Chain A
Amino acid sequence: MSSIAWFKLASPASFFPLARRLVPWFGAAAAVLATIGLWVGLLVAPTDAQQGDAYRIIFIHVPAAWMSMFIYLVMAFWCAVSLTFNTRLAAMLAQALAPTGAMFTFLALVTGAMWGRPAWGTYWAWDARMTSELILLFLYFGYMALRNAIDDPRRADRASAVLALVGVVNVPIIYFSVKWWNTLHQGASVSLTSAPTMAAPMLAGMLVMAFAAWFYAIAIVLLRVQAIIVEREKNANWIGDLVPRTR
C-alpha cells in the first residue's frame, strides 16, 4: 500500500491520466457483469411463487437503491476530505458523484413504483424506505443546486461540502423518523424486511448486478471527473499536453 503515492494522486494533473486509463477497465467490467447479471436474473433465476415474473425488477431496483445510499456516503466522505485537506480533486470527485447518485436514487424510486404496482397494488405507499429515498433525492438535488448557484468553483466546493456533511448526519435521523412515523400511521402493511429466503440464483443475480452498478458508477464518475478537471484546470499548462486544444 505504501508504494502508492496518495498525495501525488491528489493532484488533478497526476490523477487525470490514471482516471483516463481506468475508465475502460471499469466500463468493460460493468458491461460484462451486467450481461451476466441480467442473464442470471432474467433467464436462470426461477419464477417467484407469489409474485410471478414481476419480482425480476429487483435485479435493477435493489442495486440502484444500494448505490443511491452508498454514493451519498462516498460523496460525503470526499467532501470531508476536501474540507479537511483543502484538496481540489476530492471536491471534484464529490461533484462528479452527485449526478450519478441522484440517477440511481431516481432509478430506485421509479423501479420501486413499477414493482409496487403488481406486488402491493399501488405505485406509491409512503413506506419508510420509499419516503426516505425520496428525501435522499431532494438532498442530492439540493447539493447540485447549491453547486450550480455558486460561480466561484472553490466556494462551491466548500459550501456544498458543508451541505453534504450536514445531510449525511441527517440521513439516519430522517430514516428513523420516517420509519416511526410510518408505523404510527398505518402499521407495517408493507414490509420488505421479513422477506422469505431467496433462491440462490436470485441472490447471485442481484449481487452480480450490484457489482455491475458499482463498476458502472466508478467508470462514469472517473469519466465525469475528467471533464470537470479539464473544465476547471483549463488554464493549466499540463492540460494542453493531454488534451489537444481545438482553437
Chain B
Amino acid sequence: MSVTVTSFDEVGDQPRDSSAWKGFAWSIARDLRLAFRSRAELGVLILFYVIVVTLFPLAVGADIALLRALGPGVLWVAALLASLLSLPRIFAADFADGSLEQLALSTQPLPALISGKIAAHWISTGLPLVLVSPLLGAQFGLTAGEGWLLALGLLIGTPTLSLLGAIGAALTLGLRAGGGLLALLILPLYVPILIFGAGSIEAARAGLGASAQLSLLAAVLLATVVGAPIAATAAVRIALD
C-alpha cells in the first residue's frame, strides 16, 4: 500500500486565527481533497459493499420471500463491515507520515480538526453507501418505500459509525494487531446502530412506522457528535505520546 505524502503547502495553509469552525472547515477540505485523489480506493470500498451484499443470495438461495426477510439485516451488516474496513483511512496515513503530529501541535483546537477528519471520512465512505443502498435493496425485493427508508436510516446511522469508529481507529494507531483488533473493539459498539437501523424497516413492515427507530438513530448520532470527537482526540493524543 502506498502512503500518500502530502505537504501542508499542497493542501493550503492552516488559517492563522484558531477558531474551531475554521479548523473544522480546513480539516474537512484537506481530507476530502486527499480522499478525492485516491478515489480508486473509495470505489473499491463501494464494490466491497456491493459484493458482500451479493454473496448472501448466493448463500441462502434466490427465494424472494426469504431475501425480503433477510434484506434489511444484510444491507445493514454489510454497511457496518464496509465502515469497519474504511476506518484506518481516518488516521493511519497521517500517523505514518507525521502529519497527525503536526495537527496535534497546531494552534487549531484538535477536537475540531478531528471532527473535520471524521466528517470527511463519512462524506467519502459513508455517503456513497447511502446512495447505492436503495439499488441493492431492490435486489432483495424491498419496495421503493422500504428502499428510501433504508437510505434514510443509513444517512442518519453511518455518520455515527464513522464517529464511533474514529475512536477505535485512533486507539489502534501503530499497533501490530491491526484489523482484527479494531473489529473486536468497534463492532460491539455498533450493535445499537444495527438494531435501530435494520429495525426501522422491520417496524415499517409491521405497520408500526419507522419514526421511533429513526429518532433513536438520530439521538445516538447527536450524542456521538458531541462525545466521540473528544474521546477520539484523547485517543490520538495517547497514540502520539
Contact = CB atoms under 8 A, between A and B. Distances in A.
A211 B196 CA distance: 37
B181 A149 contact: yes
Contact of B188 (A142, A169, A181): A142
Contact of B238 (A162, A165, A170, A178): A162
A173 B220 contact: yes
A145 B181 contact: yes
Interface string B178-189: 000100110111
B241 A155 contact: yes
A178 B187 CA distance: 14
Nearest to A83: B234
A159 B231 CA distance: 10
A177 B177 contact: no
B172 A146 contact: yes
B206 interface: yes
A49 to B, nearest CB: 36
Main DSSP-derived SS at the A contact region: helix
A185 B206 CA distance: 10
Interface residues of A, number: 29
A231 B22 CA distance: 47
Contact of A149 (B177, B195, B227): B177
Contacts of B234: 83, 158, 162
A181 B193 CA distance: 11
Nearest to B180: A145
Contact of B184 (A141, A155, A173, A180): A141
Contacts of B208: 184
Interface in B166-201: 167-168, 171-172, 175-177, 181, 184-185, 187-189, 191-192, 195-196, 199
B92 interface: no
Given A138-B184, A145-B181, A166 B172 contact: no
Contacts of A167: 188-189
B235 interface: yes
Contacts of A169: 227
Contacts of A180: 195, 199
Contact of B191 (A135, A149, A162, A185): A135
B231 A146 contact: no
B185 A163 contact: yes
B202 interface: yes
Nearest to B176: A149
Given A162-B171, A184-B199, A146 B239 contact: no
Given A162-B167, A162-B234, A163-B171, A146 B191 contact: no
Nearest to B234: A162
Q: Which of B171, B208, B216 has the most CB of A within 10 A?
A: B171
A166 B216 CA distance: 18
A173 B192 contact: yes
Contacts of B239: 155, 159
Contact of B235 (A142, A159, A185): A159
A179 to B, nearest CB: 10
Interface in A124-158: 135, 138-139, 141-142, 145-146, 148-150, 155, 158
Contacts of A184: 199, 202-203, 206, 208
B181 A159 contact: no
B192 A155 contact: no
B189 A170 contact: yes
Contacts of A159: 171, 235, 238-239
B238 A158 contact: yes
Contacts of B185: 142, 145-146, 163
Q: Across chains A and B, which 8 residue pairs bring their CB atoms closest together, nearest first?
A: A177-B192, A149-B177, A138-B188, A181-B195, A177-B195, A142-B185, A149-B175, A158-B238
20 contacts: A135-B191, A142-B188, A145-B184, A149-B177, A155-B238, A158-B234, A158-B241, A162-B167, A162-B171, A162-B234, A166-B231, A170-B188, A174-B188, A174-B191, A174-B192, A177-B191, A177-B196, A180-B195, A181-B195, A184-B202
Given A158-B234, A166-B167, 20 more contacts: A138-B187, A139-B188, A142-B184, A145-B184, A146-B172, A149-B172, A155-B239, A155-B241, A158-B238, A158-B241, A159-B171, A159-B235, A159-B238, A162-B167, A162-B171, A167-B189, A174-B191, A178-B191, A184-B199, A184-B203
